[in-house]
Amino acid sequence: MNTPHPSLTDALAQADLLYARHELEPVIAAMGARIDAALGGERAVFLTVMNGALIFAGQLALAIRTDLEFDYVHATRYRGETTGSELHWLRAPAVPLADRVVLLVDDILDEGHTLKEVREDCYKRGAKKVLIASLCTKRHDRLVDGIASDFNGVELPDRFVFGYGMDYYEQGRNLPAIYALKDGNGE
């Protein structure tokens, strides 16, 4: 039988709160203004990477004044676990991307495999420019070559994080803050 996953209550008891909602909201609002400036009036495809980006994407979209065309992809590399493997595509973009500016929106740029592959897919579909907006990035030296966020909210320590869309064994996504497990826990 599979070992049951640790509970969210236990995780929270062994975690530090890194960023509360009231600290993230102004960061996201400022990012929206920077994205408006970068788009220069062009109507981009706002491509949310489900599931983790759901909360950030909603807040970011409301902070962007330029009209956007919404679409989403569903790609998962962690599949409810705390370490990643190969990327599983559950849903490809539906909107034609040829000659479009695409704004890829995700909760976290960790090792970068997910956003790199999704960005490559957008270019294969003919996108003329792909910009990346992430709520957070992690500080470590495991980032794959050739990927970076164009717009990033906050930098996090190299610890497993959850909340604000990010899951701990599919739990805790709707916590209104980002938490980090204390070093050595949960992996």
Ligand X SMILES: O=P(O)(O)OC[C@H]1O[C@H](OP(=O)(O)OP(=O)(O)O)[C@H](O)[C@@H]1O
Residues that bind ligand HPA (CB under 6 A): 78, 108, 110, 160-162, 166-167
Helix axes 54-63, 21-39, angle to 10 degrees: 60
5: left (phi over 0), alpha (psi -120 to 50) or beta: beta
Name the residue with tokens 């739990």: 171
Using CA atoms, how far apart are residues 62 and 69, in angstroms rounded to an integer?
A: 13
**Considering CB distances under 5 to 8 angstroms, the limit depending on partner class, which of ligand HPA, ligand X, none binds residue 153?**
none
By beta-carbon proximity to ligand X, the closer residue of 35 and 49 is 49
With CB cut-offs between 5 and 8 Å by kind, which of ligand HPA, ligand X, none does residue 161 bind?
ligand HPA
Residue 151 Cα distances to 4, 25, 73, 85, 165, angstroms: 37, 15, 19, 25, 18
Compare residues 60 and 166 and give the one whose CB is closer to ligand HPA. Answer: 166
48 binds, among ligand X, ligand HPA, none (CB under 5 to 8 A by kind): none
E-assigned strands of 77-175?
A: 88-91, 101-109, 129-138, 151-156, 161-162
Number of Cα atoms under 13 Å in the Cβ half of residue 173: 15
User: 160 contacts which partner out of ligand X, ligand HPA, none, CB within 5 to 8 A by kind?
Assistant: ligand HPA
Q: Which of 78, 164, 168, 179 binds ligand X (CB under 6 A)?
A: 78
Question: Judged by CB under 6 A, which of 52, 93, 163, 186 binds ligand X?
Answer: 52
To the nearest whole angstrom, how small is the minimum distance from the Cβ of residue 168 to ligand HPA? 7
Which residue do the tokens 């220069």 mark?
Answer: 40
Q: How far is the CB of 110 from ligand X (least distance, A)?
A: 3
181 residue type, one letter? L
Respond yes or no: is residue 110 known to be catalytic: yes
Length of the chain: 187
Catalytic-role residue among 106, 107, 110, 167? 110
| Contact call for residue 121 and ligand X (CB under 6 A) | no
In single-letter form, the type of residue at position 134 comes to: S
User: Footprint of ligand X on this chain (CB under 6 A)?
Assistant: 49, 51-52, 76-78, 84, 106-114, 167
The residues assigned a catalytic role are: 110
